[in-house]
Protein backbone atom coordinates (compact mmCIF):
# COMPACT_ATOMS: atom_id res chain seq x y z
CA UNK A 1 0.00 0.00 0.00
CA UNK A 2 1.37 3.41 -0.96
CA UNK A 3 1.24 5.58 2.18
CA UNK A 4 2.76 8.88 3.22
CA UNK A 5 1.58 9.90 6.70
CA UNK A 6 -2.09 10.87 6.19
CA UNK A 7 -2.32 9.94 2.51
CA UNK A 8 -3.24 6.61 0.97
CA UNK A 9 -3.62 5.49 -2.61
CA UNK A 10 -5.80 2.54 -3.51
CA UNK A 11 -6.63 0.58 -6.61
CA UNK A 12 -10.09 0.11 -5.06
CA UNK A 13 -11.59 2.44 -2.45
CA UNK A 14 -14.76 1.22 -0.72
CA UNK A 15 -17.02 3.52 1.31
CA UNK A 16 -19.04 1.37 3.71
CA UNK A 17 -18.52 -2.09 5.18
CA UNK A 18 -21.73 -3.68 3.88
CA UNK A 19 -22.08 -7.05 2.21
CA UNK A 20 -21.44 -6.00 -1.38
CA UNK A 21 -18.48 -3.75 -0.64
CA UNK A 22 -16.71 -6.14 1.70
CA UNK A 23 -16.95 -9.01 -0.81
CA UNK A 24 -15.41 -6.85 -3.54
CA UNK A 25 -12.75 -5.59 -1.14
CA UNK A 26 -11.78 -9.09 -0.01
CA UNK A 27 -11.72 -10.47 -3.56
CA UNK A 28 -9.65 -7.64 -4.95
CA UNK A 29 -7.32 -7.84 -1.97
CA UNK A 30 -6.73 -11.53 -2.61
CA UNK A 31 -5.89 -10.65 -6.19
CA UNK A 32 -3.13 -8.39 -4.92
CA UNK A 33 -4.87 -5.08 -5.47
CA UNK A 34 -4.41 -2.24 -3.00
CA UNK A 35 -7.74 -1.75 -1.20
CA UNK A 36 -8.89 0.83 1.33
CA UNK A 37 -12.22 0.24 3.06
CA UNK A 38 -13.79 3.09 5.03
CA UNK A 39 -16.50 2.53 7.66
CA UNK A 40 -17.70 5.42 9.78
CA UNK A 41 -18.88 3.29 12.73
CA UNK A 42 -16.87 0.68 14.59
CA UNK A 43 -20.25 -0.85 15.42
CA UNK A 44 -20.95 -1.59 11.76
CA UNK A 45 -18.02 -3.69 10.56
CA UNK A 46 -19.67 -6.18 8.24
CA UNK A 47 -22.64 -3.96 7.48
CA UNK A 48 -26.26 -3.87 8.60
CA UNK A 49 -27.04 -7.58 8.40
CA UNK A 50 -24.67 -9.05 11.02
CA UNK A 51 -24.86 -6.04 13.33
CA UNK A 52 -28.34 -4.55 13.45
CA UNK A 53 -30.32 -6.40 10.78
CA UNK A 54 -30.78 -9.99 9.70
CA UNK A 55 -28.59 -11.77 12.25
CA UNK A 56 -29.76 -10.11 15.49
CA UNK A 57 -33.43 -9.95 14.48
CA UNK A 58 -33.53 -13.61 13.44
CA UNK A 59 -31.67 -14.54 16.62
CA UNK A 60 -34.42 -12.78 18.54
CA UNK A 61 -37.09 -14.59 16.49
CA UNK A 62 -35.49 -17.87 17.59
CA UNK A 63 -35.13 -16.91 21.24
CA UNK A 64 -38.60 -15.42 21.53
CA UNK A 65 -40.04 -18.68 20.22
CA UNK A 66 -38.30 -20.64 22.96
CA UNK A 67 -39.88 -18.70 25.82
CA UNK A 68 -42.32 -20.77 27.87
CA UNK A 69 -45.39 -19.23 29.55
CA UNK A 70 -43.77 -19.60 32.97
CA UNK A 71 -40.57 -17.78 31.90
CA UNK A 72 -40.52 -14.16 33.20
CA UNK A 73 -40.74 -11.98 30.07
CA UNK A 74 -38.27 -9.27 31.16
CA UNK A 75 -35.61 -11.73 32.36
CA UNK A 76 -35.95 -13.88 29.25
CA UNK A 77 -35.79 -10.86 26.97
CA UNK A 78 -32.76 -9.32 28.69
CA UNK A 79 -30.84 -12.59 28.46
CA UNK A 80 -31.86 -13.01 24.80
CA UNK A 81 -30.60 -9.52 23.91
CA UNK A 82 -27.30 -10.14 25.68
CA UNK A 83 -26.81 -13.47 23.92
CA UNK A 84 -27.67 -11.88 20.60
CA UNK A 85 -25.23 -9.02 21.14
CA UNK A 86 -22.50 -11.57 21.86
CA UNK A 87 -23.15 -13.11 18.45
CA UNK A 88 -23.08 -9.78 16.63
CA UNK A 89 -19.86 -8.80 18.45
CA UNK A 90 -18.26 -12.04 17.29
CA UNK A 91 -19.34 -11.48 13.68
CA UNK A 92 -18.28 -7.83 13.78
CA UNK A 93 -14.79 -8.70 14.94
CA UNK A 94 -14.49 -11.49 12.43
CA UNK A 95 -15.50 -9.22 9.56
CA UNK A 96 -12.94 -6.60 10.55
CA UNK A 97 -10.07 -9.02 11.05
CA UNK A 98 -10.83 -10.87 7.81
CA UNK A 99 -10.17 -7.72 5.82
CA UNK A 100 -7.79 -5.63 7.87
CA UNK A 101 -5.67 -8.72 8.45
CA UNK A 102 -4.95 -8.96 4.73
CA UNK A 103 -1.71 -7.31 3.76
CA UNK A 104 -3.31 -5.63 0.77
CA UNK A 105 -6.33 -4.16 2.58
CA UNK A 106 -6.47 -1.21 4.97
CA UNK A 107 -9.63 -0.63 7.02
CA UNK A 108 -10.24 2.92 8.22
CA UNK A 109 -12.84 3.93 10.78
CA UNK A 110 -14.21 7.38 10.08
CA UNK A 111 -16.52 9.43 7.89
CA UNK A 112 -15.52 9.73 4.25
CA UNK A 113 -16.44 12.62 1.98
CA UNK A 114 -15.53 13.17 -1.67
CA UNK A 115 -13.17 16.02 -2.46
CA UNK A 116 -13.19 15.26 -6.19
CA UNK A 117 -14.09 12.25 -8.39
CA UNK A 118 -10.98 10.30 -7.31
CA UNK A 119 -10.35 11.63 -3.80
CA UNK A 120 -12.08 10.99 -0.47
CA UNK A 121 -11.14 12.69 2.79
CA UNK A 122 -11.73 10.51 5.85
CA UNK A 123 -12.27 12.14 9.25
CA UNK A 124 -11.20 9.51 11.78
CA UNK A 125 -11.99 11.60 14.83
CA UNK A 126 -8.31 12.02 15.63
CA UNK A 127 -7.20 13.33 12.27
CA UNK A 128 -7.80 13.23 8.55
CA UNK A 129 -6.67 10.73 5.95
CA UNK A 130 -6.79 11.60 2.26
CA UNK A 131 -7.45 8.57 0.08
CA UNK A 132 -7.24 8.52 -3.70
CA UNK A 133 -8.83 5.64 -5.58
CA UNK A 134 -8.75 4.53 -9.18
CA UNK A 135 -12.02 2.63 -8.68
CA UNK A 136 -14.44 3.70 -5.95
CA UNK A 137 -17.42 1.81 -4.50
CA UNK A 138 -20.18 3.64 -2.64
CA UNK A 139 -21.65 1.13 -0.19
CA UNK A 140 -23.04 3.31 2.59
CA UNK A 141 -26.39 1.57 3.02
CA UNK A 142 -29.58 3.17 4.30
CA UNK A 143 -31.14 4.61 7.44
CA UNK A 144 -34.63 4.38 8.98
CA UNK A 145 -37.26 6.87 7.88
CA UNK A 146 -39.26 8.76 10.49
CA UNK A 147 -42.72 9.75 9.22
CA UNK A 148 -43.79 13.35 9.65
CA UNK A 149 -46.40 12.65 12.31
CA UNK A 150 -46.76 15.60 14.70
CA UNK A 151 -44.95 14.87 17.94
CA UNK A 152 -43.35 11.62 16.81
CA UNK A 153 -39.82 12.81 16.12
CA UNK A 154 -39.73 14.69 19.43
CA UNK A 155 -41.11 11.79 21.49
CA UNK A 156 -38.74 10.29 24.06
CA UNK A 157 -40.48 6.96 23.42
CA UNK A 158 -39.63 6.86 19.71
CA UNK A 159 -37.21 4.08 18.76
CA UNK A 160 -35.82 2.77 15.51
CA UNK A 161 -35.24 -0.93 14.93
CA UNK A 162 -31.59 -0.77 16.05
CA UNK A 163 -32.38 0.98 19.30
CA UNK A 164 -35.18 -1.43 20.07
CA UNK A 165 -33.21 -4.66 19.60
CA UNK A 166 -30.23 -3.32 21.56
CA UNK A 167 -32.26 -2.26 24.57
CA UNK A 168 -32.42 -4.84 27.35
CA UNK A 169 -35.72 -3.41 28.62
CA UNK A 170 -38.76 -5.18 27.19
CA UNK A 171 -41.55 -2.67 26.51
CA UNK A 172 -44.83 -3.67 28.13
CA UNK A 173 -46.71 -1.88 25.35
CA UNK A 174 -45.18 -1.56 21.89
CA UNK A 175 -46.79 0.46 19.10
CA UNK A 176 -45.46 -0.14 15.59
CA UNK A 177 -46.15 2.36 12.81
CA UNK A 178 -45.88 0.51 9.50
CA UNK A 179 -47.12 -2.94 8.52
CA UNK A 180 -44.42 -3.93 6.05
CA UNK A 181 -41.87 -6.71 6.45
CA UNK A 182 -40.06 -4.97 9.31
CA UNK A 183 -43.23 -4.05 11.17
CA UNK A 184 -44.66 -7.56 10.96
CA UNK A 185 -41.41 -9.22 12.02
CA UNK A 186 -41.00 -6.97 15.04
CA UNK A 187 -44.64 -7.37 15.99
CA UNK A 188 -44.21 -11.16 16.02
CA UNK A 189 -40.90 -11.01 17.93
CA UNK A 190 -42.04 -8.71 20.69
CA UNK A 191 -45.43 -10.33 21.13
CA UNK A 192 -43.66 -13.68 21.61
CA UNK A 193 -41.42 -12.07 24.23
CA UNK A 194 -44.53 -10.87 26.07
CA UNK A 195 -45.17 -7.29 24.95
CA UNK A 196 -48.63 -6.02 24.13
CA UNK A 197 -48.26 -5.07 20.47
CA UNK A 198 -50.38 -2.75 18.34
CA UNK A 199 -49.47 -2.68 14.65
CA UNK A 200 -50.67 0.26 12.54
CA UNK A 201 -50.93 -0.05 8.76
CA UNK A 202 -52.15 2.82 6.60
CA UNK A 203 -53.29 0.56 3.74
CA UNK A 204 -56.78 -0.96 3.95
CA UNK A 205 -55.35 -4.45 4.59
CA UNK A 206 -52.16 -5.92 5.96
CA UNK A 207 -50.08 -7.74 3.32
CA UNK A 208 -52.24 -6.29 0.60
CA UNK A 209 -49.64 -7.18 -2.02
CA UNK A 210 -50.33 -10.88 -1.45
CA UNK A 211 -53.33 -12.93 -2.56
CA UNK A 212 -56.31 -12.60 -0.25
CA UNK A 213 -56.11 -16.20 0.98
CA UNK A 214 -52.43 -15.94 1.90
CA UNK A 215 -52.89 -12.56 3.57
CA UNK A 216 -55.88 -13.82 5.54
CA UNK A 217 -53.97 -16.87 6.76
CA UNK A 218 -51.01 -14.73 7.85
CA UNK A 219 -53.21 -12.16 9.60
CA UNK A 220 -55.04 -14.93 11.46
CA UNK A 221 -51.75 -16.28 12.78
CA UNK A 222 -50.68 -12.82 13.95
CA UNK A 223 -53.99 -12.01 15.62
CA UNK A 224 -54.26 -15.47 17.17
CA UNK A 225 -50.87 -14.78 18.74
CA UNK A 226 -52.36 -11.68 20.33
CA UNK A 227 -51.14 -8.90 18.03
CA UNK A 228 -53.63 -6.08 17.58
CA UNK A 229 -53.63 -5.08 13.92
CA UNK A 230 -55.13 -1.72 13.03
CA UNK A 231 -55.27 -1.50 9.23
CA UNK A 232 -56.68 1.40 7.25
CA UNK A 233 -55.57 3.72 10.03
CA UNK A 234 -53.68 7.00 9.99
CA UNK A 235 -51.65 7.91 13.06
CA UNK A 236 -52.19 11.66 13.35
CA UNK A 237 -50.33 12.61 16.52
CA UNK A 238 -47.95 11.32 19.17
CA UNK A 239 -47.93 13.03 22.54
CA UNK A 240 -45.74 12.12 25.50
CA UNK A 241 -47.30 11.60 28.91
CA UNK A 242 -45.99 10.69 32.33
CA UNK A 243 -46.18 6.93 31.75
CA UNK A 244 -45.76 6.63 28.00
CA UNK A 245 -46.67 7.99 24.60
CA UNK A 246 -50.25 8.50 23.53
CA UNK A 247 -50.88 7.81 19.85
CA UNK A 248 -53.94 9.32 18.21
CA UNK A 249 -55.18 7.64 15.05
CA UNK A 250 -58.15 7.88 12.72
CA UNK A 251 -59.90 4.88 11.24
CA UNK A 252 -63.16 5.03 9.34
CA UNK A 253 -63.61 8.67 10.26
CA UNK A 254 -63.43 7.92 13.98
CA UNK A 255 -60.61 9.11 16.24
CA UNK A 256 -59.00 6.69 18.70
CA UNK A 257 -56.05 6.71 21.11
CA UNK A 258 -53.65 4.07 22.38
CA UNK A 259 -50.77 4.28 24.83
CA UNK A 260 -47.33 2.72 24.42
CA UNK A 261 -44.03 2.48 26.27
CA UNK A 262 -42.15 2.39 22.96
CA UNK A 263 -43.08 3.54 19.48
CA UNK A 264 -41.27 1.87 16.58
CA UNK A 265 -41.21 3.72 13.28
CA UNK A 266 -41.16 0.99 10.63
CA UNK A 267 -42.17 2.80 7.46
CA UNK A 268 -39.04 2.03 5.46
CA UNK A 269 -35.44 3.08 4.95
CA UNK A 270 -33.81 5.74 2.80
CA UNK A 271 -30.41 5.60 1.03
CA UNK A 272 -27.62 7.15 3.10
CA UNK A 273 -26.14 9.68 0.70
CA UNK A 274 -26.14 12.87 2.78
CA UNK A 275 -22.77 14.42 3.60
CA UNK A 276 -20.85 12.22 1.16
CA UNK A 277 -19.91 15.13 -1.09
CA UNK A 278 -21.43 13.45 -4.13
CA UNK A 279 -21.64 16.79 -5.92
CA UNK A 280 -17.87 17.17 -5.73
CA UNK A 281 -17.52 13.70 -7.25
CA UNK A 282 -20.02 14.43 -10.01
CA UNK A 283 -22.20 11.51 -8.91
CA UNK A 284 -25.88 11.93 -9.76
CA UNK A 285 -28.73 10.92 -7.45
CA UNK A 286 -32.40 10.15 -7.97
CA UNK A 287 -35.33 12.21 -6.69
CA UNK A 288 -35.43 9.92 -3.63
CA UNK A 289 -31.77 10.51 -2.86
CA UNK A 290 -30.39 7.19 -4.09
CA UNK A 291 -27.21 7.05 -6.14
CA UNK A 292 -28.28 6.70 -9.76
CA UNK A 293 -26.80 3.59 -11.41
CA UNK A 294 -27.16 1.65 -14.64
CA UNK A 295 -27.71 -2.11 -14.89
CA UNK A 296 -23.99 -2.64 -14.25
CA UNK A 297 -24.15 -0.52 -11.05
CA UNK A 298 -22.04 2.20 -12.63
CA UNK A 299 -22.82 5.74 -11.50
CA UNK A 300 -22.63 8.86 -13.64
CA UNK A 301 -18.85 8.52 -13.14
CA UNK A 302 -17.84 5.22 -14.84
CA UNK A 303 -15.11 4.48 -12.29
CA UNK A 304 -17.52 4.86 -9.37
CA UNK A 305 -20.04 2.12 -8.53
CA UNK A 306 -22.87 1.99 -5.99
CA UNK A 307 -23.88 -1.23 -4.24
CA UNK A 308 -26.64 -2.14 -1.81
CA UNK A 309 -29.36 0.08 -0.33
CA UNK A 310 -27.61 3.26 -1.40
CA UNK A 311 -28.43 2.60 -5.08
CA UNK A 312 -32.17 2.40 -4.40
CA UNK A 313 -32.56 -1.26 -5.36
CA UNK A 314 -34.24 -4.06 -3.38
CA UNK A 315 -33.18 -3.93 0.27
CA UNK A 316 -32.01 -7.51 0.83
CA UNK A 317 -28.56 -8.80 1.83
CA UNK A 318 -28.59 -11.44 -0.88
CA UNK A 319 -29.15 -8.71 -3.48
CA UNK A 320 -26.06 -6.94 -2.17
CA UNK A 321 -24.07 -10.13 -2.64
CA UNK A 322 -25.23 -10.23 -6.24
CA UNK A 323 -24.28 -6.56 -6.55
CA UNK A 324 -20.72 -7.58 -5.67
CA UNK A 325 -20.73 -10.19 -8.43
CA UNK A 326 -21.81 -7.58 -10.97
CA UNK A 327 -19.07 -5.15 -9.92
CA UNK A 328 -16.42 -7.88 -9.81
CA UNK A 329 -17.41 -8.92 -13.32
CA UNK A 330 -16.77 -5.32 -14.36
CA UNK A 331 -13.40 -5.20 -12.61
CA UNK A 332 -12.05 -8.68 -13.32
CA UNK A 333 -14.40 -10.45 -15.72
CA UNK A 334 -16.17 -9.98 -19.03
CA UNK A 335 -18.35 -7.11 -17.84
CA UNK A 336 -21.59 -8.70 -19.02
CA UNK A 337 -23.32 -9.57 -15.75
CA UNK A 338 -26.07 -7.08 -14.82
CA UNK A 339 -29.13 -6.55 -12.66
CA UNK A 340 -31.29 -7.66 -15.59
CA UNK A 341 -30.02 -11.21 -15.06
CA UNK A 342 -31.93 -11.52 -11.80
CA UNK A 343 -34.88 -13.89 -12.08
CA UNK A 344 -37.22 -15.32 -9.45
CA UNK A 345 -35.85 -13.46 -6.43
CA UNK A 346 -37.51 -14.78 -3.24
CA UNK A 347 -38.52 -12.79 -0.16
CA UNK A 348 -39.34 -13.83 3.40
CA UNK A 349 -41.28 -12.20 6.21
CA UNK A 350 -39.87 -13.73 9.39
CA UNK A 351 -43.06 -13.99 11.37
CA UNK A 352 -43.71 -17.37 13.03
CA UNK A 353 -44.10 -19.43 10.92
CA UNK A 354 -42.37 -17.44 8.15
CA UNK A 355 -44.06 -16.29 4.97
CA UNK A 356 -41.83 -16.75 1.92
CA UNK A 357 -42.82 -15.77 -1.60
CA UNK A 358 -41.38 -15.77 -5.09
CA UNK A 359 -42.68 -14.80 -8.51
CA UNK A 360 -46.25 -13.81 -9.29
CA UNK A 361 -49.27 -13.97 -7.05
CA UNK A 362 -52.43 -15.53 -8.47
CA UNK A 363 -53.97 -12.11 -9.06
CA UNK A 364 -50.80 -10.86 -10.75
CA UNK A 365 -50.61 -13.94 -12.98
CA UNK A 366 -54.21 -13.49 -14.13
CA UNK A 367 -53.69 -9.76 -14.69
CA UNK A 368 -50.65 -10.63 -16.85
CA UNK A 369 -52.87 -12.78 -19.06
CA UNK A 370 -51.80 -16.25 -17.95
CA UNK A 371 -54.24 -19.13 -17.92
CA UNK A 372 -53.48 -20.46 -14.48
CA UNK A 373 -53.94 -23.44 -12.23
CA UNK A 374 -53.50 -23.14 -8.50
CA UNK A 375 -52.35 -25.80 -6.06
CA UNK A 376 -53.04 -24.89 -2.45
CA UNK A 377 -53.35 -26.62 0.92
CA UNK A 378 -53.39 -25.76 4.58
CA UNK A 379 -50.23 -27.05 6.26
CA UNK A 380 -52.29 -29.01 8.75
CA UNK A 381 -53.85 -30.95 5.85
CA UNK A 382 -50.65 -31.82 3.98
CA UNK A 383 -50.35 -35.57 4.47
CA UNK A 384 -46.81 -35.66 3.08
CA UNK A 385 -45.53 -33.14 5.65
CA UNK A 386 -45.39 -34.85 9.05
CA UNK A 387 -42.48 -32.56 10.00
CA UNK A 388 -45.02 -29.83 10.73
CA UNK A 389 -46.56 -32.04 13.41
CA UNK A 390 -43.17 -33.21 14.69
CA UNK A 391 -42.03 -29.63 15.40
CA UNK A 392 -45.53 -28.61 16.58
CA UNK A 393 -46.08 -25.91 13.97
CA UNK A 394 -49.00 -26.83 11.73
CA UNK A 395 -50.26 -23.31 11.08
CA UNK A 396 -50.20 -21.72 7.64
CA UNK A 397 -50.67 -22.78 4.05
CA UNK A 398 -48.75 -23.38 0.83
CA UNK A 399 -49.79 -22.14 -2.56
CA UNK A 400 -48.38 -22.61 -6.07
CA UNK A 401 -49.47 -20.61 -9.11
CA UNK A 402 -48.76 -22.42 -12.37
CA UNK A 403 -49.26 -21.80 -16.06
CA UNK A 404 -52.07 -24.11 -17.14
CA UNK A 405 -50.63 -24.44 -20.66
CA UNK A 406 -46.92 -24.93 -19.97
CA UNK A 407 -46.97 -26.26 -16.38
CA UNK A 408 -44.27 -23.73 -15.48
CA UNK A 409 -44.28 -22.31 -11.96
CA UNK A 410 -45.29 -18.66 -12.07
CA UNK A 411 -45.07 -18.07 -8.34
CA UNK A 412 -45.44 -19.53 -4.88
CA UNK A 413 -46.36 -18.39 -1.38
CA UNK A 414 -45.26 -20.62 1.48
CA UNK A 415 -46.55 -19.76 4.94
CA UNK A 416 -45.09 -22.61 6.94
CA UNK A 417 -42.31 -23.94 9.07
CA UNK A 418 -39.02 -23.87 7.08
CA UNK A 419 -40.56 -21.63 4.42
CA UNK A 420 -37.42 -19.48 4.29
CA UNK A 421 -35.51 -22.56 3.10
CA UNK A 422 -38.20 -24.11 0.91
CA UNK A 423 -38.63 -20.99 -1.18
CA UNK A 424 -35.04 -21.24 -2.43
CA UNK A 425 -35.80 -24.62 -4.01
CA UNK A 426 -38.85 -23.16 -5.74
CA UNK A 427 -36.89 -20.14 -6.95
CA UNK A 428 -34.15 -22.37 -8.36
CA UNK A 429 -36.74 -24.43 -10.22
CA UNK A 430 -38.25 -21.27 -11.67
CA UNK A 431 -34.88 -19.91 -12.82
CA UNK A 432 -34.20 -23.13 -14.71
CA UNK A 433 -37.72 -23.27 -16.18
CA UNK A 434 -38.55 -26.60 -14.56
CA UNK A 435 -42.13 -27.80 -14.70
CA UNK A 436 -44.37 -27.92 -11.66
CA UNK A 437 -44.51 -31.66 -12.21
CA UNK A 438 -40.73 -31.83 -11.68
CA UNK A 439 -41.15 -30.49 -8.14
CA UNK A 440 -44.28 -32.53 -7.58
CA UNK A 441 -42.69 -35.84 -8.56
CA UNK A 442 -39.22 -35.31 -7.08
CA UNK A 443 -37.90 -37.61 -4.35
CA UNK A 444 -37.31 -35.74 -1.08
CA UNK A 445 -35.94 -36.83 2.27
CA UNK A 446 -38.42 -37.83 4.95
CA UNK A 447 -39.63 -36.40 7.20
CA UNK A 448 -38.89 -33.01 5.70
CA UNK A 449 -40.82 -29.91 4.81
CA UNK A 450 -39.81 -30.09 1.15
CA UNK A 451 -41.83 -33.25 0.58
CA UNK A 452 -44.94 -31.13 1.05
CA UNK A 453 -44.47 -30.24 -2.62
CA UNK A 454 -45.52 -33.81 -3.47
CA UNK A 455 -48.99 -33.02 -2.17
CA UNK A 456 -49.51 -29.30 -2.64
CA UNK A 457 -48.77 -29.17 -6.37
CA UNK A 458 -51.15 -32.09 -6.84
CA UNK A 459 -53.90 -30.37 -4.85
CA UNK A 460 -55.33 -28.27 -7.67
CA UNK A 461 -58.03 -26.03 -6.22
CA UNK A 462 -58.58 -23.67 -9.16
CA UNK A 463 -57.95 -24.04 -12.85
CA UNK A 464 -58.87 -21.87 -15.81
CA UNK A 465 -60.96 -23.53 -18.54
CA UNK A 466 -60.79 -26.91 -16.75
CA UNK A 467 -58.60 -28.76 -19.27
CA UNK A 468 -54.86 -28.98 -18.68
CA UNK A 469 -52.07 -31.47 -18.80
CA UNK A 470 -50.25 -32.90 -15.77
CA UNK A 471 -53.22 -32.66 -13.46
* Catalytic status, residue 446: yes
Task: Quote the CA–CA distance of 63 and 151 in Å, as a whole number.
Answer: 33
- Residues in binding site for NAD(+): 178-185, 201, 268
Residue 398's Cα: distance from chain center in Å? Answer: 22
Residue 365's Cα: distance from chain center in Å? Answer: 25
**Contact assessment for residue 426 and residue 393, using Cβ atoms and an 8 Å cutoff:** no
**Contact assessment for residue 174 and residue 262, using Cβ atoms and an 8 Å cutoff:** yes
Say which of 274, 303, 432, 446 is annotated catalytic: 446
**Contact assessment for residue 285 and residue 273, using Cβ atoms and an 8 Å cutoff:** yes
Q: Where are the alpha helices (DSSP H) in 146-277?
A: 161-166, 181-193, 212-224
- Residues in binding site for FAD: 58, 112, 140-142, 309
- Residues in binding site: 58, 112, 140-142, 178-185, 201, 268, 309
The three state secondary structure string of the chain is CEEECCEEEEEEEEECCCHHHHHHHHHHHHCCCCEEEEECCHHHCCCHHHHHCHHHHHHHHHHHHCCCCCCCHHHHHHHHHHHHHHHHHHHHHHHHHHHHCCCCEEEEECEEEEEECCEEEEECCCCEEEEEEEEEEECCCEEECCCCCCCCCCCCCEECHHHHHHCCCCCCEEEEECCCHHHHHHHHHHHHHCCEEEEEECCCCCCCCCCHHHHHHHHHHHHHCCCEEEECEEEEEEEECCCCEEEEEEECCEEEEEEECEEEECCCEEECCCCCCHHHHCCCECCCCCECCCCCCECCCCCEEECHHHHCCCCCHHHHHHHHHHHHHHHHCCCCCCHHHCCCCCEEECCCCCEEEEECCHHHHHHCCCCEEEEEEEHHHCCCCCHHHHCCCCCCEEEEEEECCCCEEEEEEEECCCHHHHHHHHHHHHHCCCEHHHHHCCCCCCCCCCCHHHHHCCCEEEECCCCCCCC
Task: Quote the CA–CA distance of 46 and 345 in Å, as a whole number.
Answer: 23
Provide the annotated active-site residues. 446
Amino acid sequence: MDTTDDTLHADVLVLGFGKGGKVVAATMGRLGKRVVLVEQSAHMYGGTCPNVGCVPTKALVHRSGKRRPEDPPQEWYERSVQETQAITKLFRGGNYEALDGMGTVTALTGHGRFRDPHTVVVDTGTGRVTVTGETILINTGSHPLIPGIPGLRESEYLVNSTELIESTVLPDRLAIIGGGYLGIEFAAIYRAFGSQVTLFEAAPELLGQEDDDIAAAAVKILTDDGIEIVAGAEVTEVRDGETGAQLTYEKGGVRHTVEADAVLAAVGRAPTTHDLGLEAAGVATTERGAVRVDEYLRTSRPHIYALGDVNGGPQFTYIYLDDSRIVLDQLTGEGTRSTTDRVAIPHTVFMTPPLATVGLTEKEARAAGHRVKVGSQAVADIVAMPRAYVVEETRGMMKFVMDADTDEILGAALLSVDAQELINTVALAMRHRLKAADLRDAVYTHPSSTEAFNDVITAIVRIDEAQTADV
